[in-house]
Amino acid sequence: MVRKQIGNKGSPKPVDPDKTAYGVMISVSGAACILLLYMTLFGQRMRRTAIRWHVINCSWWSILHLISYGSSAEKAPWPNFIISEDWRDSYKEVECFTRSIFPFGMIFVYFEAMIRTCVPSLSDNWIFNMIFFLLLIPYLNIIAMFCFFAKWMEVDWFYPPIEFLNLFTYVIFCLVTIVYLIFCLIQSGFCCFVIFSRNNHKRTAYTFIEMWLLFPYGLIPAIMYGPSFGFTSLEFVRKFFLKWLMENGFGGGTGEGGEFMETMMKVAEYAITAMPWFVLLVPLAQVSLAVICIEMFREQVGPHRVLNFEYFSVNLAILYPNGPSFRCGNKA
């Protein structure tokens, strides 16, 4: 009887399925980030463009984010893997820091892509490439790390700097994404002119296809970051806009304001539940989208491109033997 009681006390606790799932996602996403980082650093077909520097930056910070989440999150699969007390106390700041890197970098990538679409010859200009290298690696990281370490400065900040950086970069990124979408629509009209023109343009239809493929690469991870951004923005809204919301009838009651707040609370509840899944899958989504949407990563995967634009070009050449000079693969 005594043995039975001792055995019951020593029985293992039931395994939390969420922890197991998080561990699997962290492992898969981490392996994908390491593979992409290796490909970006040592790939033979890698070019010195902004998207390369952006992918390098996102990859190594995503690895740090996954390690931190796996050790310090509420349902961490490997709790206490990082034994530093300072790290545990700063877990939320680390998460804000790593979440800010992708939208911050994409702002520069979008502008570089718009410039290169208009002037393709700048792709081989080392000064142009160096400018965006400096913006995406030293400049971006210095600003992000300053905002992170500003927590320990003896300054009375109006809002925690790293959280404000996260909010600011996400909002600016969304605005620049809209600008880039409008740019793509306008340039698509010029694409039709290039296709049916007999002149030899430096910009081919392939240039515009690559322009459009960058859009889902930036948009899909941004949507996946949405729940975490919304969670970060709640405190900002409460601090600076709660009074205005209360004065305009959004703080409660049975009218439209009360219904609005009730709806927003339900949305926030669902977002908090889904946030870990989105956050842990973002690195894997970035890797997959880089291989699908970015030319040099498609070329790196194998000798044949995932999206075979040359085949499309040959078919058009058969349809228009004496017509427009439509050469998708010719980037000269």
Question: What digits encode the pLDDT tens for the residues 214-242?
Answer: 999 999 988 888 777 777 777 777 777 76
Say which residue, 293 or 229, is predicted with more confidence.
Answer: 293
Residue 13, domain member (yes or no): no
What is residue 109's three-state secondary structure? helix
Residue 37, domain member (yes or no): yes
Residue 4, domain member (yes or no): no
Banded pLDDT at 310 (limits 50, 70, 90): very low
pLDDT above 90 coverage of the chain, percent: 27
Q: Six-digit token pair at 93?
A: 């700041």
Question: What is the model's pLDDT at position 12?
Answer: 62
Q: Is the model's pLDDT at 195 over the cut of 50?
A: yes
pLDDT above 70 coverage of the chain, percent: 72
- If one counts every other C-beta atom within 10 angstroms of the C-beta of residue 178, the result is 9
pLDDT tens column, 77-124: 888 777 777 777 788 888 889 889 999 999 999 999 999 988 888 888
- Rounded Cα–Cα distance for residues 212 and 302 (Å): 22
The parent domain of residue 120 ranges over: 19-248+267-301
Residue 110, domain member (yes or no): yes
- Asked if 57 and 36 count as a contact pair (C-beta separation under 8 A), the reply is no
Question: What is the model's pLDDT at position 299?
Answer: 83
Question: What is the model's pLDDT at position 190?
Answer: 77
Whole-angstrom Cα Rg for the chain: 24
Q: Is the model's pLDDT at 285 over the cut of 50?
A: yes
Buried b (16+ CB within 10 A) or exposed e, 90-113: bbebbbbbbbbbbbbbbbbbbbbb
Residue 2, domain member (yes or no): no
Q: Is the model's pLDDT at 59 over the cut of 80?
A: yes
Q: Which range among 24-28, 231-235, 286-290 shows the weakest confidence by mean pLDDT?
A: 231-235
Question: What is the model's pLDDT at position 128?
Answer: 93
Say which residue, 2 or 205, is predicted with more confidence.
Answer: 205
Q: Is the model's pLDDT at 281 over the cut of 50?
A: yes
Q: Which range among 56-60, 193-197, 322-326 shows the weakest confidence by mean pLDDT?
A: 322-326
Residue 25, domain member (yes or no): yes
Residues 6+ away with beta carbon under 8 Å from 219: 177
- If one counts every other C-beta atom within 10 angstroms of the C-beta of residue 197, the result is 12
Q: For 32-66, give the DSSP string.
A: HHHHHHHHHHH-TT--SSHHHHHHHHHHHHHHHHH
Q: What is the pTM of this model?
A: 0.79
- Asked if 50 and 112 count as a contact pair (C-beta separation under 8 A), the reply is yes
- Rounded Cα–Cα distance for residues 100 and 169 (Å): 7
Say which residue, 77 or 200, is predicted with more confidence.
Answer: 77
CATH of the domain at 297: 1.20.1070.10
Residue 78, domain member (yes or no): yes
What is residue 131's three-state secondary structure? helix
- Asked if 218 and 109 count as a contact pair (C-beta separation under 8 A), the reply is yes
Residues 6+ away with beta carbon under 8 Å from 296: 43, 45, 46, 47, 49, 52
- Asked if 110 and 51 count as a contact pair (C-beta separation under 8 A), the reply is no
Q: For 283-312, give the DSSP string.
A: HHHHHHHHHHH-HHHHHHH-SS-SS-HHHH
* The amino acid at 179: V
- Rounded Cα–Cα distance for residues 232 and 99 (Å): 11
Residue 116, domain member (yes or no): yes
Q: Six-digit token pair at 25?
A: 């996602």
- Rounded Cα–Cα distance for residues 113 and 109 (Å): 6
- Rounded Cα–Cα distance for residues 158 and 154 (Å): 13
In the chain, the number of structural domains is 1
Name the packing angle between helices 140-149 and 161-195 (round to 10°): 160
- Rounded Cα–Cα distance for residues 241 and 253 (Å): 18
What is the average pLDDT score of the chain?
Answer: 78
48: Cα within 13 Å, side-chain hemisphere: 12
Say which residue, 315 or 132, is predicted with more confidence.
Answer: 132
Question: What is the model's pLDDT at position 131?
Answer: 95
**DSSP assignment letter at 250:** -
